[in-house]
C-alpha cells in the first residue's frame, strides 16, 4: 500500500481554514481516530487531513506525533497563509528549514527533507487552477519551521487578510493538490541565488523537466567564507532527495558569493546544471 500523505491545517490560520473547507468537499472522508485533539480524517487509505490548534511553524516534529495515530506518512503538506510586508498577492510553494538562526521555528542551521517532485507538481497544477485570479504563483526559497524528519512542503495564500479569506484562492490551491501529477522524468536540483521569492526557479520548473528541492537565497550566502557557503550548500543537497545537481541563478548571486558557490559545488562532488541542459516540458 502506498504510504499516506498527511495534509495539516491550522485553526489559527484563516488561509489554512479556507483551504480546509474546500478540501472537506473531497468525497470519501471518514473519521480515523484523533490527532491533536481533533478528528483525524482519512480517505482511500492514502490521504489524511488533520487540524492543529497551535501555530504550525513552531509545532516541532508533527510527523512523530502523527505516526502514533496513523501509518507513518511519506509526505506532509501544510495548508498555510503567507504574510509579507509588500502585501503582494501570491500563491506559493516552499520547503522548510533554516540556513541560519531559527527565529521562526525549526532548528538553527538545519533543513527538513524536501519533496521536489511533489512541490513541482503542485506548482504546475496551481499555474493552471490559479490562472486569472490575479495572484503571482511562485516558489519561495527555504525558510521557517517546524523541524520534521519526513519530506514536507508548505502551500500558501498571501499576503493579507483579504487574500487569506479569498474562497477562489483557497479553491485553486485545493484543486491543484487534488490534480498534481509528479513527473518521474524531472531532474532534481538545488537552486542557488536570488531573493526570497524565486521567479527564476519557478520559470524553470514550469517550462523545463526540472524540479527544485531546497533553494538557497543570496542573503543566506552573502558574507560567508568558502567553508560557510559550502556548509549551506551541503545542507541543501543532503535534504533534497534524489538531487542530481545545482542550478545557479547567475544574475541573482554576485561577486565573491558566486565564486564561493561554484567552488563549493565542485568540492561537494556535484555540478552546475544549465537551463540549456534541461528538457523542455
Per the structure, the complete domain to which residue 250 belongs is given by 187-277
CA atoms within 13 A on the CB side of 204: 26
Q: Do 153 and 193 lie in a common domain?
A: no
Q: Which residues pair with 82 in a beta bridge?
A: 158
Which residue among 126, 151, 179 closes a domain? Answer: 179
Q: How far apart are CA 263 and CA 188, in angstroms?
A: 20
Q: How many domains does the chain have?
A: 2
Residue position matching grid coordinates 514550469: 206
Query: pLDDT averaged over the chain?
Result: 96
Q: Do 161 and 193 lie in a common domain?
A: no
Q: What is the pLDDT of residues 99-135, one digit of tens each?
A: 999 999 999 999 999 999 999 999 999 999 999 999 9
Q: What is the pLDDT of residues 34-72, one digit of tens each?
A: 999 999 999 999 999 999 999 999 999 999 999 999 999
272 neighbors 198 (Cβ within 8 angstroms): no
Q: Do 147 and 197 lie in a common domain?
A: no
List the one residue out of 150, 19, 152 whose CA is nearest residue 77: 152
Q: Do 159 and 25 lie in a common domain?
A: yes
Which residue among 140, 162, 179 closes a domain? Answer: 179
Q: Do 91 and 152 lie in a common domain?
A: yes
pLDDT at 82 over 60: yes
Q: What is the pLDDT of residues 192-234, one digit of tens each?
A: 999 999 999 999 999 999 999 999 999 999 999 999 999 999 9
Q: What is the pLDDT of residues 246-256, one digit of tens each?
A: 999 999 999 99
Q: What is the pLDDT of residue 3?
A: 84
Q: What is the pLDDT of residue 83?
A: 87
List the one residue out of 4, 221, 214 whose CA is nearest residue 111: 214
Residue position matching grid coordinates 487574500: 163
Q: What is the pLDDT of residue 265?
A: 98
**Strands of the chain, DSSP E:** 5-10, 30-35, 38-43, 47-52, 75-83, 90-94, 97-98, 110-111, 136-139, 152-159, 187-192, 210-216, 245-248
Residue position matching grid coordinates 542551521: 109
Q: Do 166 and 200 lie in a common domain?
A: no
Q: Which CATH number covers residue 205? A: 3.40.50.10700
Q: Do 167 and 109 lie in a common domain?
A: yes
Q: What is the pLDDT of residue 81?
A: 97
Residue 106 has which C-alpha cell? 525549526
Q: Do 216 and 115 lie in a common domain?
A: no
Q: What is the pLDDT of residue 65?
A: 97
* Confidence tier at 84 by pLDDT (50, 70, 90): confident
Q: What is the pLDDT of residue 32?
A: 98
* Confidence tier at 86 by pLDDT (50, 70, 90): confident
Instruction: Please return the burial class of 181, using the count of CB atoms within 10 Å of its CB with bins 0-12, 13-18 and 19+.
Output: exposed
Q: Do 191 and 143 lie in a common domain?
A: no
Q: Do 140 and 201 lie in a common domain?
A: no
* Confidence tier at 178 by pLDDT (50, 70, 90): very high
Please give the torsion angle defined by the CA atoms of residues 245, 235, 214 and 107, in that order, rounded to the nearest 10 degrees.
170
pLDDT at 85 over 90: no
Helix (H, G, I), strand (E, B) or coil at 279: coil
Q: What is the pLDDT of residue 98?
A: 98
Give the chain's end-to-end CA distance (angstroms, integer).
30
Q: What is the pLDDT of residues 251-281, one digit of tens each?
A: 999 999 999 999 999 999 999 999 999 999 9
Q: Do 239 and 116 lie in a common domain?
A: no
Q: Which CATH number covers residue 120? A: 3.40.630.50
Q: What is the pLDDT of residue 224?
A: 96
Which residues, at least 6 apart from 45, have a Cβ–Cβ distance to it below 8 Å?
1, 4
pLDDT at 148 over 80: yes
pLDDT at 1 over 60: no
Distance of CA 199 to the CA centre of its chain: 14
Q: Please report, for residues 2, 29, 79, the alpha-carbon distance to residue 45 in angstroms, rounded to integers and kept in the order given.
A: 9, 10, 20
pLDDT at 172 over 70: yes
Q: How far apart are CA 25 and CA 28, in angstroms?
A: 9
Q: Do 194 and 260 lie in a common domain?
A: yes
Q: What is the pLDDT of residue 39?
A: 98
Q: What is the pLDDT of residue 175?
A: 98
Query: Beta strand 38-43 with 30-35: parallel, antiparallel or unpaired?
Result: antiparallel
pLDDT at 191 over 70: yes
Q: How far apart are CA 267 and CA 129, in angstroms?
A: 41
Which residue among 179, 209, 226 closes a domain? Answer: 179
Amino acid at each position: 500500500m502506498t504510504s499516506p500523505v498527511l495534509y495539516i491545517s491550522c485553526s489559527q490560520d484563516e488561509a489554512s481554514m479556507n483551504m480546509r473547507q474546500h478540501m472537506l468537499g473531497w468525497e470519501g472522508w471518514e473519521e480515523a481516530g484523533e490527532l491533536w485533539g481533533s478528528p483525524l480524517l482519512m480517505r482511500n487509505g492514502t490521504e489524511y487531513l488533520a487540524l492543529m490548534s497551535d501555530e504550525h511553524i513552531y509545532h516541532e516534529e508533527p510527523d512523530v506525533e502523527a505516526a502514533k495515530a496513523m501509518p507513518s506518512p511519506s509526505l506532509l503538506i501544510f495548508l498555510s497563509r503567507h504574510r509579507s510586508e509588500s502585501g503582494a498577492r501570491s500563491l506559493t510553494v516552499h520547503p522548510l528549514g533554516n540556513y541560519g538562526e531559527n527565529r521562526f521555528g525549526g532548528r538553527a542551521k538545519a533543513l527538513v527533507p524536501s519533496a521536489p517532485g511533489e512541490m513541482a507538481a503542485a506548482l504546475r497544477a496551481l499555474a493552471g487552477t490559479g490562472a486569472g485570479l490575479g495572484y503571482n504563483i511562485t516558489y519561495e526559497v527555504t525558510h521557517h519551521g517546524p523541524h520534521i524528519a519526513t519530506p514536507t512542503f508548505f502551500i500558501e495564500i498571501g499576503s493579507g487578510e483579504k487574500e487569506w479569506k479569498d474562497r477562489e484562492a483557497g479553491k485553486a490551491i485545493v484543486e491543484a493538490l487534488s490534480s498534481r501529477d509528479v513527473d518521474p522524468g524531472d531532474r532534481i536540483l538545488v537552486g542557488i541565488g536570488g531573493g526570497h521569492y524565486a521567479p527564476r526557479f519557478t520559470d524553470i520548473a514550469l517550462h523545463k523537466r526540472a524540479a527544485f528541492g531546497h533553494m538557497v537565497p543570496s542573503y543566506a550566502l552573502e558574507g560567508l567564507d568558502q567553508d560557510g557557503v559550502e556548509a549551506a550548500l551541503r545542507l541543501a543537497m543532503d535534504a533534497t532527495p534524489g538531487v542530481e545537481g545545482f542550478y545557479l541563478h547567475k544574475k541573482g548571486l554576485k561577486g565573491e558569493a558566486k565564486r564561493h558557490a561554484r567552488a563549493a559545488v565542485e568540492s561537494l562532488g556535484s555540478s552546475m546544471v544549465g537551463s540549456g541542459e534541461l528538457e523542455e516540458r
